[in-house]
Amino acid sequence: MPLLAGVVIAAGGAGIGSDSQRLNFALVLVSALTGLLIGMQFAEMRRVYGPIADQAKTLRTQVEEMKLEQRAWVSITSIKISGARRNVNGLSLDFQYSVENSGRNPASNVFLNAKLYVFVATGSSLGDFAEENRLCKPPIVNDFLGFAVFPRQKSPDITETWTLDQADIDRSEASLGKKIGSVPIPVLACLAYKDAVSQTWHGTPAAFLVSSVGENSFGGVPFDNQALSTAHLVIQTYATDVAPPF
């Protein structure tokens, strides 16, 4: 015990004459002994419980991996524009899509939530995906929403309509200071669903761009036509960062 010997020698050399000095010496000695005992106990605990903690960490990792392997994984397999119209309420597009569950658990309450924009900025170096996260939020109370998709199964084609509100168009035109003749329409979406076994909500965010394609042109969706031909409207993956599936 070199530390304690040093303490004793130092105290002895200085001379322990008064009660106060003897008390201080006793306190130093007790503190040194306590620190030594705590250090020895900590080392022993690490020796005994260290492997157990490592095993517990490994087990937790394996459990999480098993959950990922077993859970439902639903994604969009196809999407196209099946209808379009322009009226006083805005620009409405009919989306026809199908999904597939590539996981091992059934998925329930599957639904696609989407929003159309004139212009949209999503994602950043900081990983701020506020729009996608909002679209991926599960409904507060609606156990009958959506449809079910079983493992390794594709859904039939489903058609839903989303509208670019006239109020959003008006704000964009006011910001630009002019009427918009045509512009590609960004679409942010989230395929939300519940794992039927764990009852956990999941989401697959996605981004698309709707544009008009002619024989020799590629441009935006016209805003001034009452009837829009879907033969010239195409939807493709939007080259922007989106939130990862969860």
List, for residues 118-136, the tens digit of each pLDDT value.
Answer: 877 555 444 567 887 888 8
Mean of pLDDT values over 40-50 = 75
Whole-model pTM? 0.68
Burial string for 125-147 (b: 16+ CB within 10 Å, else e) reads eeeebebbeebbebeeeeeeebe
Q: What is the DSSP letter of 62?
A: H
- The SS3 of residue 70 is helix
- 72-237: CATH class: mainly beta
Pick from 105, 178, 110, 103: which is nearest to 142 by CA? Answer: 110
Token digits of residue 13: 């050399």
Q: What is the DSSP letter of 231?
A: G
Q: Which of 56-70, 83-97, 155-169 has the lowest mean pLDDT?
A: 56-70
Angle at 164 between CA 159 and CA 170, to 5 degrees: 170
